[in-house]
Amino acid sequence: MQWNNKFNYPKSIRSIIQGSRHYSVNQESLPSVTTILKATESEEKKAKLADWKQRVGYKQAEVISREATSRGSSMHDYLEKFLLGKLNMDLLGDKTNEKIMADQIIENGLRNKLSEIWGCEATLYYPGKYAGAADCIGIYESKETIIDFKQSNKPKKDEWVDDYYLQCAAYSLAHNKVYNSNITQIVILLCTKDNIFQRFIIQDERLINYQNLFLKKVEQFYSQGITN
């Protein structure tokens, strides 16, 4: 895989406004993609989360969520270093779970599949609407692609990862809008804490469907008056 700095991704400053993450990009303060998804999630999804917290106990749910966040951040750090060519020899003996999870994603999901990298942790924005940071953008199995890295406590089914698809669909829309690109594929590379690797791909018409679903959520978000 090789780097191609063909696009100039902007610098951004992240901030919390009214309890929600925003990005300051090109003198605009824009809600994050995840902020919009959280604010517009269905009552069914809210109920499922509440049921889970009640079932495991609120304190234990907080512990599980905190551990997952920490594990995901560490895994992402390894993957970012790999993409930037900064995984040095000191890390070769690292046997932490997060490093092993990152290795699963590298060996099963990236190597010999990602041929060109345009950016990693790149700020993307849709003018006047939203912003976010994409884990990786480039050419994946010959297609212009948004790639996202995820960790999970257990394996996922396709119908359980709608929010992942919506998140990446939002990034693809923003990239195509600002850079006139032709991203037609999104790839989710996931590893569980037990080191089970999964890959989810949507493209073409299915991706367009998720793009349209996200745009409806953007409309809902602003109609609710939850802006900056």
Q: Which CATH number fits domain 2-223: 1.20.1300, 3.30.420, 3.90.320, 3.40.50?
A: 3.90.320
More confident residue, 200 or 47: 200
pLDDT beyond 50 at 89: no
Distance CA(34)–CA(171), nearest Å, equals 11
Distance CA(148)–CA(192), nearest Å, equals 14
> For the residues 195-218, what does the mean pLDDT come to?
97
> For the residues 50-55, what does the mean pLDDT come to?
76
Mean pLDDT for all residues in the chain: 89
Interval 207-227: pLDDT, tens: 999 999 999 999 999 998 754
CB 162 within 8 Å of CB 120: no
The model's pTM: 0.90
DSSP class per residue in 133-162:
EEEEEEEETTEEEEEEEEEESS---GGG-H
pLDDT beyond 60 at 49: yes
Q: pLDDT value at position 17?
A: 79
Distance CA(83)–CA(43), nearest Å, equals 38
Where in the chain are the domains? 2-223
Lateral strand order in the sheet of 114-126: 2-3, 114-126, 130-140, 143-152, 185-192, 197-203
> For the residues 192-212, what does the mean pLDDT come to?
96
Q: What are phi and psi of 227, to 5 degrees?
A: -115, 180
